[in-house]
Every structure is written in C-alpha cells, then in structure tokens.
Amino acid sequence: MSPGRIRALIILAVLVLWEALPRSGLVPVLFLPPLSLTLAVLAADWPTFAAALGVTLSEVAVALVFAVGGGLLTGALVGGLAGPRRLLLPVFSSLYAVPLVVLYPVMTAWFGIGAESKIAFASVYGFFPTMLATAAGIRTIDPQLLLTARSMGATPAQRLLLVILPAAIPTVLSGLRLGGALVIVGVVVAEMLIASAGIGYLVTFARTVLDSPRVFAGVLLVLLIAIGFDLAMRWVERRCALWSTAGRPQSAPAAAVPT
Amino acid sequence: MLVLGRLALLAGFCALWEALPRVGLADPELLPPFSTVLATLGELLARPALLADLGTTTLELLVAVALALPLGTLLGLALGENERLARIFDPLVFFLFSIPKSIFLPLFILTMGIGFWQKVAFGVFSTLFIVLMSAAAAVRSVRPDHVFTARAFGASRAQIAWRVYLPSMLPILLEGFRLAVIFGFTAVLLAEMYASRTGMGHQIASWGENFMLQRLFAGVLLLSVVAIAMNEAIRGIEARCSHWRS
C-alpha cells in the first residue's frame, strides 16, 4: 500500500473512532461527543456561531494590521540596518521567551473586556514572531541584485521599487502567514479568558455548562479558520514564488503543504 | 560596546516605566511606577503562598517537559530513521505541529478537570510535536558518509551512536528542548489562567480581575525574568556544546 493510502486510512479510522467510541459508550459523550452530533450542533446553531465568528474575525482583522504592519516595519528596520541588528536582534530573541499570555490581564485592566483588549493582546502576540521572521528574511535579499542594479545606473528609488520590494515579497508573505496564524490564536485565547462575545467566549461558556458538543463545534470552527488561513496564504506564497523565482531553479520546500 | 548599549536600553526602559506615571503622562493606577512594582515584588516574594504558587507552576512545567522530551525524542528518532514510517506520518506530524494548541485547552478541562495533571497533560500536548520535529530533524542531520567512515574504521554501534550521532544531533535536540521549555511555560500558565485554583497563572488572572495592578505587574515582571533566565541558561548550554563540537 502506498504511504498516501495508509495515511488516508489512518485519518478515516480517526473519524470513525470519533463517531464510534462515544456511541458505543466506551468514552463518555462529555469527553468526546460523536462527530455527527458535533456537526449537527454546528449546523443547528449556525446563526449563533456565525455571529460569534463575525466578532472574532473583525478583531482578527484589526489586530492583523497592527501586528503584521508593525512587525514588518520594525523587522525590516532592525534586520536591514547593521547597527540596530547587532544591538537589538539578540534582545528581541531573548524577549521572545517571555510568556506573553500573562500580559492579557494587563490589557483587560487597561482597555476593558471589549474588543479593544483582544486587539491589543493579539497585536502584541503576533508582533514579535513576525518581526523576527522579517528581520531574518530581509537579509536573504541577494546583495548581487543590488550591486547589479547599481552598476547599471539604477536610482535609489528604482532600486527600492524594482529590486528590494520584489525581492522582499516572499518575506512579507511568510510574515503575514505567521503573524496571521498567531493573531487568530491570540484573539481566540483572549476571548476564552475574559470576554463577552466571540467564538472563544462561546467555547468557554459552553465549557462551563459542560455542553461538550458545542465546545467541540467551536474548537473545530477555530481550527478550520486557522487551517483555511494557512492554506490560502501558502497558495498565495506559491504563486508569488513561481513568479519571483522565474529563471531560478525551483526550490523544493515551496511545495511542502500540510495535507 | 554592544553589551553597554543593551544595558542602556534596559536602563532606559526602566527609567521610562518609572517616569511616565510619576510625571503624570500615565495614570499611576493603571501603570504603577517601576520602583513601586519592584517593592511589591519584594513583598510578594517574602510570602510563602506566592512561593508555593511559583513552585506549583515550576513543577507542572518540569513534569510536562520531562514527559514530552523522552516521548517526543523516541517518536522523532523513529520517524528520522525509518523511511517508510516517515513517508506515512510526516505530513500528519507536520499538520499536528502547525495547528494552534491553545484552543484545545477546554477539551482538557472536560476530560481531566482543573487539577495538576490537566496542566501537565496540556503542557505535554503543547510541546510534544516541537520535540518530535526537532528529534527527527536531528537524526536527518547525521551525515551518512560519517557513519560509513566510522563503520569502515571498525567502530562499534555504541561508538557510532556516541561519537557520530550524538555530536551531530545535540545542537538541534537542545534547540528543540529550549523551544519546548518556552512553549511549555506559556501552556502551563495559560492553563492556570483559564481554570485553576493554584499556580502563578491563577494569581496573575485573579490580580487582573481584582484590579490589583501593582501585584499584577510584579507578577508579570517575575515571570518574564524567570522565562528569560531559563531561555538564556539553555542557550548557554547550546553554545557550550557547539564549542565542544568544533
């Protein structure tokens, strides 16, 4: 049997067990509600889930602008200039160890329990990794390209528009993918902790009343959003990679997509 | 020079933290001055209750990492050494590695309650795949020609494991271990903040809810220092090993 087929069988077995274990009573429904029940709840309660999803996604959108915008800008500055890079990069990678989740109570004390505290927290949550990835990525721009452009008499504006920006696109895109994933998690986690709306709040509320089908439905929904975002971004990255590396040998890892 | 620059940055950060509430640019209720927070931290650290909370969190993290490390390393070794297993499981493992773990936290509460082992289990779940991926990468970093050469010179299996595999794998394994500690710390704290009766995460969350910002900032400062210290300590070991390797 081919590895792909065995993998498909494993996934199928997981789905079947998800249905069969609670149905047969081997696992309590509280621990694991059957797949069909979870999906049925998701369908029946769709208006509630959709409203919560709307709240969450709008918070994600705003936080994404702050996290990725700030991360790309700071990352480009820190990574691109030799002085700040040597001074700051080790500082930022030390700060990376700080468990940012402990800042969320500060955010709620400062901004209340509405959307603002989620946006603030998720922005900080997504900022650091985006910045570090950008700082690393900006240095992968081939200096030969800049040298060639300069020797052919390109003006600084032309060098920026025609050389640096196109060469930075892969970095920007992978920053957006990484930052976006973290912002989604940041918003949902914040909603799970203290909130009055959103998908994370819905999950926590269902958890406190031990309504496990709704908990699973909410978690499944968040997972689908995270995976969907990742796949969409990878697709965009692949399209841009084809274009920006035209004429260069195709690098293999660009095709590595989680299945 | 660079070290001086970084110390200046740190001093500037503390000075700004002190000055903003003092000169009235920030509300001292919302941002207590740095010196006040330090004094509060000193008071807190003298309390047995806080040390007990810190102990609980540390123990949860240690047990979680102590379970995830051997388990993840063994699974990673299996994937790294066995081509067929790798071809079947690599995409699945990568998928599990890349999905966000925090959102599964409510499921751990439904099945395991809110006690010590629930935090440990969530910590293991949050770190296992990092260890697994780096162990698999570590095995794959061993160069086959080195193994062939060692074998040709008549090295025993133990010698090959000790002299060829380990030196090549150690830096990547340590990097995975460092990330596991960082992410494990976050996972354990999040689990405590979410639903718990003990631990530093629980304290942080309740100080926030009760608007005790001096204590909240003292707690954030303490946990940040602990996290940075752990990270730098493991990095120090990493640097030592790569030194010894070359």
CATH number, domain of B173, equals 1.10.3720.10
How is domain A33-246 classified at the architecture level of CATH?
Orthogonal Bundle (1.10)
Give the pair of three-digit tokens for residue B41.
Answer: 């931290």
Return d(Cα B133, Cα B131) in angstroms, integer: 6
B contact residues 108-127, partner A, Cβ 8 Å cutoff: 109-111
Helix (H) or strand (E) holding A155: none
Structural domain total, chain B: 1
Residue A13's pLDDT band, with cuts at 50, 70 and 90, is very high
In a domain? residue B229? yes
> Mind listing the pLDDT tens digit for each residue in B169-182?
888 899 999 999 99
Scan for tokens 């925090």, then name that residue. B102
CB distance from B30 to chain A under 8 Å?
Answer: yes
Q: Is B82 helix (H, G, I), strand (E, B) or coil?
A: coil
Contact state of A189 with B103 under an 8 Å Cβ cutoff:
yes
By C-alpha distance, the chain A residue nearest B184 is A99
Task: Identify residue A20 by its one-letter amino acid code.
Answer: A
Residue B246 has pLDDT above 60, yes or no: no
Q: Do B223 and A230 touch (CB under 8 A)?
A: no
Inter-residue long-range contacts of B58-62, CB under 8 Å, 24+ positions, other chains counted? B59/B116, B60/B116, B60/B119, B60/B120, B60/B123, B60/B188, B60/B192, B60/B199, B61/B123, B61/B181, B61/B184, B61/B185, B61/B188
Selected residue with higher pLDDT from A143 and A223: A223
Which residue range is the domain that position B47 belongs to?
Answer: 31-245
CB contact under 8 A, A106 and B111: no
For B107-159, write each residue's pLDDT tens digit: 999 999 899 999 999 999 999 999 999 999 998 888 888 888 888 888 888 88
Contacts of B198 (CB under 8 A, 6+ apart): B52, B53, B56, B192
Buried b (16+ CB within 10 A) or exposed e, B230-246: bbeebbeebeeeeeeee
Q: B99–A6: do the CB atoms touch at under 8 Å? A: no
pLDDT at A206: 93
CA distances from residue B105 to A73, A159, A190, A219, B113 in whole angstroms, order as listed = 33, 48, 13, 9, 11
CA distance B95 to chain A (A): 6
> Do the beta carbons of residue B176 and residue B168 sit within 8 Å?
no
* Least confident piece of the model among A196-200, B189-193, B236-240: B236-240
How many beta-carbon pairs below 8 A join chains A and B? Answer: 140
Domain spans in chain A, listed from the N-terminal domain onward: 33-246
- Residue in B106, B227, B230 nearest the CB of A203: B106
Chain A residues within 8 A of B186 when measuring between CB atoms: 99-101
Provide the chain B residues 215-234 that lie in CB contact (below 8 A) with chain A. 216-217, 219-220, 223-224, 227-228, 230-232
pLDDT recorded at residue A88:
85
- Phi first, then psi: give them for residue A256, nearest 5 degrees: -80, 100
CA of B235: which chain A residue's CA is closest? A94
Ranges A21-35, B151-165, B197-211, B232-246: which has the least confidence = B232-246
Summary mean pLDDT of chain A = 86
For residues B12 and A161, what is the distance between their CA atoms, to the nearest angstrom? 36
Note which residues in 99-138 of chain A have CB less than 8 A from chain B. Answer: 99-106, 108-110
- Please judge whether A99 and B103 are an interchain contact, meaning their C-beta atoms are less than 8 angstroms apart: no
- Residue A247 has what pLDDT? 45
State yes or no: pLDDT of B234 exceeds 70. Answer: yes
B75 shares contact with chain A (CB less than 8 Å)? no
Q: Any chain B CB within 8 A of the CB of A194? A: yes
DSSP letter (8 states) at residue A216: H
Query: Token digits for B17?
Result: 């933290």
B66 domain residue, yes or no: yes
> Are the beta carbons of B207 and A105 separated by less than 8 Å?
yes
Task: Tell me which chain A residues have a C-beta less than 8 angstroms from the C-beta of B185.
Answer: 99
How far A242 CA sits from the closest chain B CA (Å)?
23
- What tens digit of pLDDT does each residue of A112-153 get? 889 999 999 999 999 988 888 888 877 777 778 888 888 888
Give the closest-approach CA distance of A254 to chain B in angstroms: 15
Whole-number pLDDT of residue A73: 87
Question: Which tens digits make up the pLDDT trace of A36-84?
Answer: 999 999 999 999 999 999 999 999 999 999 998 899 888 888 887 878 8
| B9 inside domain | no
pTM: 0.89
With an 8 Å Cβ cutoff, are B105 and A31 in contact?
Answer: no
Residue numbers in B near A31 (CB within 8 A):
110-111
What are the structure tokens assigned to A231, written together?
């796949």
Angstrom distance (rounded) from CA B90 to CA B108: 25
What percent of chain A stands above pLDDT 90?
51
Residues of B with CB below 8 A from A256's CB? 94
For A203, nearest residue in chain B (alpha carbons): B106
Does B100 touch chain A if contact means CB atoms closer than 8 Å?
A: yes
